[in-house]
Chains A and B, each alone.
Chain A
Amino acid sequence: MKKIKKSNFEKMVNSLLQSGSTIIAPVLKKGKHYFSRIESFDKISLDYCQTVLSPKAVYFPSTDSLMRYENEHNNVKIIEVEVPKNPVIVLGVKPCDAYALSYLSEFFLKENSDTYIQVRKENTTIVGFTCTHSDDKCFCTSLNINPFDTKGTDIHFTDIGEEYYVESITEKGNEIIKNFNTMFEDSQTIDKKEYSSNPPIKFDLEKIRLTDKFESSVWLDQSLLCLGCGACAYSCPTCSCFDIQDESNPYSGERLRCWDSCGFGLFTLHASGHNPRHDQSNRWRNRVFHKFEYSVKNLGIISCVGCGRCIRVCPGGMNISEHLAELATI
């Protein structure tokens, strides 16, 4: 284990910026935190509970160009899109979000590797941070995620006062320590719990059994508050649905991958006009089933990390943590 003085951490970040790395970190804008590209260390604001949007756009941007094409007298030419290969460092990623990024890479890379996301992942270093601020909407601990876990990070920092306690998790993490070896000192193992937030457990995950609840009336009752937008899915660090759109004119075009949400009625609307998820209760049920049933079946991972973003952004006051607590009792 290592440690680094905060003043050296600042020097390290500035030197990474100077060497041409793109650094994405939480930045404070009009009272809220967002992951944004930073040009200098002083823009970083690590003193945050949760960013409005998750860092998933680093792998999976809201609008992603997949290819372009040109048409000259019916001669169609495909132009491949080069995903930039410059090094990207995402700094200040909380354990919930790092966990979610590791889920996203499983999802996009496990069976049919998605090259766009593959290239981004290869060139991205995730710098995790032990969580120090939680609020009443956080529930990572209810999902067996600790606010100091390192899963999904390449290197993990814990604020211990004047210094950060540092754990290198992957080869990319080792590389950082090697490149700045004069700044890192050896450290004894510490109990990170003492330095982390501690959101209370809100429900017993073991008690949530969805398989036989598909036809339950609970979905309608819970979803009455839901207005059917995309705010929860777009802010969610694990939601991965997308819509392929061709934007074209007779001479050229571009194929885009845009975020989509199962909360929208259009999401499952058939060309015939039939909609198998005809009301919001079906859509809400899908959201919960996807995260707690289908992704467990498909990948062996629950695809909710308890970050609470969907609760914070919901215009209708939907609260997945309360809804899960209710599901644990029926």
Chain B
Amino acid sequence: MTVLARVSELLDSQQINLFIGYTQKGSICPLFLKESDQVDKLIFNEDCLQNLVPYLNKHEVQSFGKIGIFCTFSALRSLLQLKSEKRFSNLSIIPFLVISDDEFVEFGSYEEIESYIEKNFKKGDDNVQEMIDKINLMSTEEKWEFWTNELTGCIKCYACRSACPMCYCDKCSVEINNPQWVPTASHSQGNLEWHVMRAMHLAGRCVNCNECFRACPMDIPLNLLTSKINADMEVAFGQIPGTKLKLDYAMSCYKFDDKDNFIR
């Protein structure tokens, strides 16, 4: 059975009320299907990179209840990470990982996602690693200059936040305005505070989908910040986000056998 036939079947039998996939209209963009009549507009190829999981955080989308969704490998990781953070308890989600037109994996449970990720685990993008390696070699001053340069371009449009599966807070810290913790203005201090805060809130939660970078109209490589912190957290705590269904999160889980004394 082809993946399109399977999606039609699920929609027709109302096992799902909505399918989120990709289509090609000039450029590749998401397609939301409520009925099977337009299923042939769905496409899947190596250019379908957008992580569609952030849509599941929208309450209009959640109101569909039973949803099928195309996932890339990192999107699958974001789904698992979100589940471990106790999201989507009232949603029934059927993720698909498409390999080719008639080769695909349909996941029936989060346990299946967990074991698929374990078996097929691949580290993120090589280009990202290359950039991180390059920045690692810089002196503190050079790093400061690199980031000051990159971040001056930020216009505080928050497309990075909107497109990130892990940025789902109902009220983001930048929206807390009494008092205003993080400046709204896109001046250098405001931009720096926003990005440091965001990187810290994603430390060990980022699934390396690079969606924030793809979303940014100013091409700021902010995925490097979260990826680098992830790498450090892996060394320090042996944790890789989006690989375990049970939340085991260094930034928030207390452990009796913690290596550090100060916390005990």
Contact = CB atoms under 8 A, between A and B. Distances in A.
B217 interface: yes
Contacts of B158: 229-230, 264
B32 interface: yes
A52 B25 CA distance: 21
B185 A224 contact: no
A52 B218 contact: yes
Given A53-B155, A225-B29, A231-B215, A245 B161 contact: no
Contacts of A52: 217-218
Contacts of A317: 25, 27-30, 50
B201 interface: no
Contact of A319 (B29, B54, B155, B218): B29
Interface string B169-183: 000000100001001
Q: Is the interface of B mostly helix, strand, loop or mixed?
A: mixed
B60 A280 contact: yes
B128 interface: no
A322 B25 contact: yes
Contacts of A281: 60
A258 B30 CA distance: 31
Contacts of B59: 279
A136 B163 contact: no
Contact of A228 (B25, B32, B50, B162): B162
A231 B29 contact: no
B215 A229 contact: yes
A60 to B, nearest CB: 13
B54 to A, nearest CB: 6
Interface residues of B, number: 36
Contacts of B155: 53, 62, 230, 234, 259
B219 A32 contact: yes
Interface string B187-200: 10010000000000
Nearest to B218: A52
Most buried by B among A230, A231, A247: A231
A270 to B, nearest CB: 13
Contacts of A28: none
A63 B185 contact: yes
B138 interface: no
A229 B217 CA distance: 11
A137 interface: yes
Interface string B140-168: 00000000000000011111011100000
Contacts of B184: 243, 245, 256, 258
Given A137-B26, A224-B61, A313 B185 contact: no
Contacts of B26: 136-137, 319
B244 interface: no
A30 interface: yes
Nearest to B59: A279
Contacts of B185: 62-63, 245, 247, 256, 258
B214 interface: yes
B133 to A, nearest CB: 20
Interface in B104-121: none
A62 to B, nearest CB: 5
Given A245-B184, A322-B25, A261 B30 contact: no
A229 B186 contact: no
Interface in A310-330: 313, 315-317, 319, 322
A78 interface: no
Given A315-B162, A316-B30, A230 B156 contact: yes
A188 B214 CA distance: 48
Contacts of B32: 221, 224-225
Interface of A: 30, 32, 52-53, 62-63, 136-137, 220-221, 223-225, 227-231, 233-235, 243, 245, 247, 256, 258-259, 261, 264, 266, 279-281, 313, 315-317, 319, 322
